[in-house]
Amino acid sequence: MKIIILICGEGLGHTSRCLALGKELLSGGHEVHFGAYGYSKELVEKTGYSAHEIPSEIKLIGKAGALDLTSSIEATLKSADILGGPKLLKLIKEIGPDVVISDSYYLGTLAGFTLRIPVYLILNQSNMEEFFKNRGVSLRLLGEVTRKFYTQIFEKVDKIIIPDYPLPYTVCKKNLNFRGRVQEKLFFSGPLIKEKYEDVESIPLKKPHIVSLIGGFGYREPIFRKVLETAKLESSINYTLISGPSLDPSNLVGLPENVQILKFIKDTYPYLKSSDAVIAPGGHSTMMEALSFGIPILSFPDRGHSEQENNAEVIEEEGYGRMLSYSTPPEVVLECIREVLEEKRYRNKTERLRRLARELDGPRAVREMLEKDCNEKIL
């Protein structure tokens, strides 16, 4: 098959799971084209693949750990390219794919519909209208329009790929709200991660060791500072903080001896495998990576980001880790870290998810599903 994968560039999690899927499709002998923008395009290219430039779709704006929805909408409208649709149609026509895979990139689904190409939508949230709740009448109305738009998209796509564990283990289950016949299109693939646990080499990290994967947006810097304060409270627990592309580690001075800070790196899997727990926001892809490696999570979801908050609630409720907030004091953060490190029930549950991720093999499952669907259409 000839396949184009179109990636939403807001949050690098979309990119990482698309790279995992692209790698698997290429290994199966298929021709794969990536379409991306911004940091997403840069990451695809740093991984060694070429990427076509596509129009940006949304821009997320945050401040001090909170999602600013009004500013995000304004930034999105200001950066909108009125010629984006025609440009994308032209690109897809030139490539001539048999399948369009769109990871939360809705302009790509519309282009696929227009060209009558099978469309497979990857997403971990279907209740996007939650973003608009309790934000005033005008935004609530916008939320209702959003819901109707996405509902029509869901009804038209060939399948909806949920890159998560099937129920009852689904981490994003509080963000899913599909109705009627759309439910028949759902395909729970299992986590889409680039590396398998058994193929990753451990690295020597002083134990016990906490790895922080708070990256991407500078407004998450308060978590860095809170982790640094936490680290100072007990020197026997060691930390590695991996910064995102828009956060400058040089601004963080006076580091305690049990902390190292690394600039943004493309391969975090060795650190994941060697850690005892992970500090992360509420992003779905990061959670899938940690759980696929059997690592408990200490989650700091962005304030006002309902999708992340829901993910973190499931982590807490299912015993895969703890849900914290930007207001959690360092003393309480430390106690939660101790709890996750000392109580075996956390590691037992996440180890179960590691084994399940291996059995499901999400990238392979999606490839085989696409091949089956394609063969059925030919026959």
- The confidence score (pLDDT) of residue 215 equals 64
Report how far Cα 108 is from the mean position of its chain's Cα atoms: 18
Give SS3 for 37. coil
- The confidence score (pLDDT) of residue 295 equals 98
| Alpha helices per DSSP H over 293-361 | 306-317, 330-342, 344-360
Q: C-alpha distances in angstroms, 155 versus 112, 113, 178?
A: 14, 12, 10
Provide the 8-state DSSP code for 202.
P
DSSP codes joined into one string, 192-258 = --SS-GGGSPP---PSSEEEE---S-GGGHHHHHHHHHHHHH-TTSEEEEE--TT--GGG--S--TT
Report how far Cα 113 is from the mean position of its chain's Cα atoms: 25
pLDDT along the chain (379 residues), means of 10: 92 90 96 93 92 78 48 47 78 96 91 94 81 56 68 91 97 92 95 95 95 74 86 96 71 84 84 96 94 97 88 97 95 98 97 98 97 83
- The confidence score (pLDDT) of residue 239 equals 96
- The confidence score (pLDDT) of residue 179 equals 84
- The confidence score (pLDDT) of residue 61 equals 46
The position carrying tokens 């009004």 is 70
